[in-house]
Amino acid sequence: MIDDRRSRLIALLTRLGAVDLVGPLWAVRDIRELPADVRGAICDVIGHHAAERGLDCDGTPNQLGRELDALVAALDE
């Protein structure tokens, strides 16, 4: 079974225009198989998106921010 987090990352990166990172995701069945540099690049893209849209006005993570944090944590496993 293909990792659901992988599917969510593919959709997110596609939507954010980071299509150069989608190819490596298609090549693996589990995101833990990604090379460290690819995981780092994905985390950078997610981090920028989280900074723009993932925080409430008081700086705490909103629902999107929490979901993005979970994806980043999955990449660090």
pLDDT, residue 58, reads 92
Phi and psi angles of residue 34, each rounded to the nearest 5 degrees, phi first: -70, 145
Whether the full predicted model's pTM is greater than 0.85, yes or no, is yes
Residue 54: burial class (beta carbons within 10 Å; 0-12, 13-18, 19+):
buried
pLDDT, residue 4, reads 86
Q: In percent, how much of the chain has pLDDT > 90?
A: 83
Q: Which of 37, 45, 34, 15 is nearest to 74 (CA)?
A: 34
Residues 30, 6 contacting (CB under 8 angstroms): yes
